[in-house]
Structure 1
C-alpha cells in the first residue's frame, strides 16, 4: 500500500525572488526527496490564483489515484489562502471510504523556520494511518487535523493557521503518532460527474450597517442563480438587503444565509425585518457553515439539480450538522 502526493504550489513550494516577493518555484518531486511515495505535480500556482476549473481538475486526479487499489490515501500540497474551499469541495465529491489530506505552509521553503517539511511529514502519516480511513478531506497543519467541513484559515501568519470554530480539531499529530479523536460525520455527497464545470454563478454578498443591497442588484443583473448572504448576527439583513433578497427569491434565485460572526449558527430568530422574514420569503439558513463553503455547496447543488427548489432540497442534508 502507498500514499500518493499531488502538488499544486502554494507557500510550501515558494521561494523569495530577487526583488524580495515570494513566488512559487519548487516543483513537486523536490518537496519529498527520498520519500517512498508517488509524486505528481498537478499545477504550480499560488492558491489565490486558482479557478474552479483547477480545483475540478485536481478532484478528477485525486479520484483517479484512489481508484488504484495500491493507494491508501492521497496528500495534496496547496496554498493556504483557498485551502479550506478546495478541501470542502473535495469532501463533497469523495467516495465514503476515502482519505485525502491537504497541507501547506505559512513560511516559504527557504525560511529558517520553514514549516512545510513538518506539515508534509504529518500529512503523510495521517494519510497512511488506518484510523484516518473514511475521514474524507482533512487539513493537517501545525500538528492539528481539521475536518474540511469545519476548517477555516484563522490567522494570516501563525504556524497554526487553521481552526475549526465551535468544533476543534478532529485529531492531532504528535511526533510519529496520529491521534484521531472523532472522525467527522459525512452525509452523502455529490458525484463529480454531476457537477460538470460548476458553471452556475453564485455570489457572496456581505451585510453591513445601512447596506442598501446595491451589490445584490448587481449580482442579479450579472446572472446569478444563487446568492450566499453574510448576514448580521444570527442571520439578519438590513431593510435594503431584505428588499433586494425578496426580489431575488421571487425571481427564483436560490438564497443561502450565513452569519458574518466567527462562531455560532445563522438561524431565523428575529422578525420586524430580521432573519425570520428572510426565511418566510424562502431563504435557507446555513447554520455555522461559512460563506465560501456555502457558495460551493450551493454551486454543487445547482449543478446537480438546476431547479432552485430542488437544489435547496439537495443541499439540506449537508446543513444539518451546522445547525
Structure 2
C-alpha cells in the first residue's frame, strides 16, 4: 500500500554538498527538496511524497522564524485528510531541540518523523538516503501514530524527549536517555519496542510565536557570580544552569541565582553530563530552583520557555511539569 506523506525540508547536512567525496568540510542546506526527491524516486519506496521547502540552512541557524513556519506547515499537514504522515528533514546539530519543541506543541494524531544525515550528499558513505528511506517506512506505518514526534537516525527510532546527539562524527551519532531507541528500522523492516504512549493526545502547550528569552549558562570550575550575571539581560525570563554533576554550581552562583529567583527569574538546574538524572533537592524550594530531571539543558530551556509563555510562574507547578518529562 502506498502511503501519502508530506515532506517538510529545512536543510542541514542531509541537503549538504562538499564538492568532493573525501572533503572534511561542506556547506549545509544546498540541495532543494524537489531535487532531493528526484534521487529518492530511484529507491522504489512505497510512498507518494509531496514536498515543501521551509528553509535550506545549517541547523545552527534555526530559530523562532523557522520554527513558526515549520509548526504551521506541520499542523496543516496533520489536518490534511489526504496526508498519512509527515517527514521533516533537519540538520543534526539542533535536531533534538526542534523535535522536542514540536512534540510538546503538536497533537499525536499522525506520524511526525524527523530525519537528518551525518555526511553530505556527495560524500563517500552518504547516510542521508538510507535515513530518509527509513523515515518513509516509519512515517507510513500506522503504529507510528500516538508516539509523538520521532527521530530516525542510524537505523534507530528515538522519542523526541529522549533523543540527543552524542557524537560529532560517524553515522551512529544519536542515542536516547532515559529510554534508548523505541524501535529499529531499515528500508525493508520495522520493529517497535512497545505500544504507542500518546494515543489520542493533543498538544501539551499552545504554540507561541515569540518564545520568552531563556539563557543557558554552563557551570565550570571558577565560575563567579559576576560572570554568570552577565548572561542575564534585561529581557531574560529564565536561566538553565548546565551544572556540574547532578546540576551543581559554585556557591557564589547559587546565592546570586537564588536572589534573582526572588525577583521573578525562573532557574532550572540541569547537568552538563551526557546522561544522568537531576532530581529535586531539599534546598531547591528555598532557592527557588527547579530540577530538570532527565532533560538536557537545551530541552530544559525549551520546556521552560513554553511554561513561561503559557503564564506559569509557580515554582512547584513548574517542577511538577518537569517531573512528568
- TM-score between the two structures when normalised by the length of structure 2: 0.89
Match of 2:44? none
Q: Choose which of 157, 162, 173 in structure 2 pairs with 1:145.
A: 157
How big is the shift at 1:102? 0.5
Aligned residue for 1:126, secondary structure, equals helix
Greater shift in the superposed pair: 224-233 or 19-28: 19-28
Match of 1:289? 295
How big is the shift at 1:317? 5.0
Q: Distance in 1 between matches of 2:98 and 2:223?
A: 30
How big is the shift at 1:20? 7.7
- TM-score between the two structures when normalised by the length of structure 1: 0.90
Match of 1:92? 104
Q: Distance in 1 between matches of 2:79 and 2:233?
A: 42
Match of 2:77? 65
Q: Distance in 2 between matches of 1:316 and 1:129?
A: 35
Greater shift in the superposed pair: 86-95 or 215-224: 215-224
Q: Distance in 1 between matches of 2:80 and 2:110?
A: 12
Q: Choose which of 236, 244, 252 in structure 1 pairs with 2:264.
A: 252
Give CA deviations for 1:72-121 in whole Å, capped at 9, x if unaligned.
11000110000000000000111132321000111110112100000000
Q: Does 1:197 align with 2:200?
A: no
Q: Does 1:300 align with 2:306?
A: yes
Aligned residue for 1:15, secondary structure, equals coil
Give the unaligned 5+ runs of structure 2. Answer: 42-46
Does the C-alpha gap of structure 1 residues 267 and 110 become closer, same or farther in structure 2, counting only changes over 3 Å? Answer: same
Give CA deviations for 1:25-45 in whole Å, capped at 9, x if unaligned.
110012222262111111111
Contact 1:228 1:295 in 2 (8 A): yes
Give the unaligned 5+ runs of structure 1. Answer: 270-275
Q: Compute the RMSD of aligned alpha carbons.
A: 2.0
Corresponding residue pairs, total: 310
Q: Distance in 1 between matches of 2:113 and 2:234?
A: 36
How big is the shift at 1:183? 4.9
Contact 2:133 2:187 in 1 (8 A): no
- What does 1:153-172 align with in structure 2 at a 5 Å threshold? 153-172=165-184
Match of 1:273? none
Contact 2:130 2:187 in 1 (8 A): no
- What does 1:161-240 align with in structure 2 at a 5 Å threshold? 161-183=173-195, 185=197, 189-192=204-207, 195-198=208-211, 200-240=212-252
Q: Does 1:22 align with 2:37?
A: no
